[in-house]
Amino acid sequence: MPVLTPPASTRSRRSIGSAAGAAGHLRLCGIALLAVAAGCQASTSTRAADRDAERELVPASERTLGGRRESVVLPATKAQPPQPEAGEGAEQIAPQTEPSRQAEEPRLLSLSEALQIASRTSRELLTQKESLYLEALSLVGTRHGFAPQLDAALSYLFADSDDAQGSTDVALSAGVSQILPQGGRLALTGSSAFSTDTYSSSLRLGLTQPLLRGSGRLVAWEPLTQAERSLVYAIRDFEQFRQGFSIDVARRFYDLVQQKQSVGNERRNLEKLEFTRRKAEALYSVGRGKELDVLRARRDELSSQNRFLQAEEDYQASVERFRIFLGLPPEELIDVRPEDPELVRVDYDVGSAVAVALLNRLDYLNRREQLEDTQRQLRIERDGLRPNLDLDLAYILGTGVEGEFLDQGLDQGSWSAGLRLEIPVDRLRERNAVRSAEISLARARRSLEEFRQELAVGVQNAFRELERREKSLEIQGQLIEDQERNVRVAELLFERGENDNRDVVEALQALVDAQNALIQEKVSYAISRLELIRDLGILFVDENGAWLEP
C-alpha cells in the first residue's frame, strides 16, 4: 500500500469560515480521494479474484462430481466373448513413466504421454478452463451482491462571491445494507455534515419489504440461484469436454500411427517392386522375359515411389498439426510410437445401456435441470403480473445544529411507517413475458424429449457399430492371409514364366490396401468403444488425461 505523508501541522477541531479553512478541508479531501484511488495493486486484486473463484469452484466441483465414479450405474453384462491372444492384440493404453529420451530429436510420444501433454498445454483445453473460471468469477460477483453492501461518500463544496463571505459545505455518509430472505432490504445509514460554522449528524435504520410483487425468496434470490446452477452446468460441461477431448487426442494419435504404418507398408511395397523390376530385368537379359514386363515393372516401381514420397509428406504435415494441437512450441520436434490400439471387447447388455445413460450422462442431467430453470422462470414472470405493494419502515436518530463536532448528540428520534401500492394499470410487457416463458417451457420440454430419444438411438447405434467393426476386424484379418498367399502364388508363377508381373504388382497392392484397412479398423473400433463408454456416462479422465473406468 502506498504511504501517505500526513500534513505538517495538525489542525484543531474548530469552525472554518475563511478561504484558509476551505483550503484545509480541500487538503483533507484530496488525501482521502488519493487513498481510495490508490487502493490495492492490480496483482493483489488478481490474486484475490483467483482465491474467490477457487472458493466457489472447489466445493461446487466436489458437490457435482465427487464420488461419481463410485456411484455411477453400470449396464448389465452379457456372456464374455473370447479375448484376443497375446500376440493378436496391442500393448495396453495406460499411464507410463516417461521413457529415457535420446539426445537426438524428435521426441517419441506414447499415447499416455500425448494425453498428459495435451492436458497441460493444449490451447483448446486452456480456453475451456478459462471459461469455467469466468463462470466461477461471475458467481463470486453475484454472491457478493447478496452479502452486506457497504458504501461511503465524501463531498466538499466551497462557494465565494465578491459581495458575500465564502461558504463551505462538507458531508460524509456511510452505510450498510442487506437483502433479506423474503426480498426485503434492511439498510443502516449514518451521515454527518458541516456547513460554514455548524455541524449536524443523523443515523437512519430503514426496512423496505415487498408484500406482493417481488416478495419471497424465489423472486428476490433468483440471480444467485441461477448463477449457482450455471456454475454446476459449466462444471459438468467442462468434465464432458475433457472426456471428448481425451478421445480426440487418442483419435489424432492413432491416425498418426496409422499413417506411419501406412508409410511403412508403402516402403515395403516399394522394396518388393524394386525386387520385381530387377527380377524382370534379369529374366529379360537371359531371354526368359518380355521387354513389356520390364517397362511395366519400372512404371509400377516409379508409381510406388511417388506414393511413398506423398505418404511421407502427408505424415510429416500431420505430425506438425498434432504438435500444434498439443500446444507444443515449434522447436519441439515430435513423433509417435507405433502403438496399436488396445482391443477390448464390450460385454454390456444393450437393453440396460439406455437406462444407464439416462442416469449417468452429464449433458442429460444439465438439460433436465435447465428445464427446471425454465419452469422456475415462468413462476417468476407470473409474479410480475401482481401489483406492487411495499412496506417502508424507518427509525431516525438525529442531532440539532451544533457549533462543535464533539458537542453533537443523537438524542432526537423519529420513526415512520408507510405502504405504497402501485395499481397495475399497464401490464402489457409483463403479460408478454409470461407468454414467452410459457412458450420457452414448451420448447424446453420438446427439446428434452427429443434429446432423450436421440440419446437412446445413439447408444443403440454405437453397440451395432461395435459389433460390425468386430466382424470387420475378423474379415480384414482373413483378407490379409488370403492376399499374402496370393502374393506368394503370383511370385511363384512369375518365376516359372506362367504369367507376367502384372499379377504380382496387383497382388502386392491388394496386400498393402488390406494391411492399411486393418489398421484403420483397429483404430475405428478403439475410438468407437471409448465413445460408447463416454455416452454411457462411465468414462472418467484423471488429471493427466488418462482414462479410468469403474
Residue 290 resides in a domain: no
Helix (H, G, I), strand (E, B) or coil at 181: coil
Judged on CB neighbours under 10 Å (0-12, 13-18, 19+), 5 is: exposed
Sign of CA dihedral 127, 129, 131, 134: negative
Q: Assign 1 to helix, strand or coil.
A: coil
Strand partners, 348: 77
Report yes or no on 434 lying in a domain.
yes
Buried b / exposed e across 436-449, counting CB within 10 Å, b at 16+? ebeebbeebeeebe
Q: State the pTM of this model.
A: 0.76
Tell me if 541 is assigned to some domain.
yes
Amino acid at 407: D
For residues 333 and 316, the answer to whether their CB atoms sit within 8 Å is no
Tell me whether residue 187 is in a domain: no
Examine residue 307 and state whether it is found in any structural domain, yes or no: no
Per the structure, the complete domain to which residue 506 belongs is given by: 43-146+221-266+323-387+424-548
- Our count of domains for the chain comes to 1
CA quadruple 313, 319, 320, 325: dihedral, nearest 10? 150
Cα 487–chain centre separation? 52
- According to the model, what pLDDT value does residue 434 have? 94
Average pLDDT for 248-268 = 88
Euclidean distance between CA atoms 298 and 125, whole angstroms: 50
Residue 395 has pLDDT above 80, yes or no: yes
* CATH number of the domain where residue 352 is located: 1.20.1600.10
DSSP 8-state secondary structure symbol assigned to residue 157: E
Residue 64 is assigned to a structural domain of this protein: yes
User: Which pLDDT band, with edges at 50, 70 and 90, does 76 fall under?
Assistant: confident
Q: Model confidence at 78, in pLDDT bands (50, 70, 90)?
A: low
Instruction: Give helix 222-285 / helix 291-326 axis angle, nearest 10°.
Output: 160
* Domain annotation covers residue 37: no
User: Three-state SS for 439?
Assistant: helix
| In-domain check, residue 492 | yes
Q: What is the CA radius of gyration of the chain?
A: 39
Tens digit of each residue's pLDDT (9 = 90 or more) over 173-201 = 999 999 999 999 999 999 988 887 788 88
Task: Grade residue 22 by pLDDT with cuts at 50, 70 and 90.
Answer: very low
Element (H, E) at 185: strand 185-195
Contact 377, 440 (CB under 8 A): yes
- Residue 58 predicted with pLDDT over 80: yes
pLDDT band at 285 (very low <50, low <70, confident <90, very high): confident
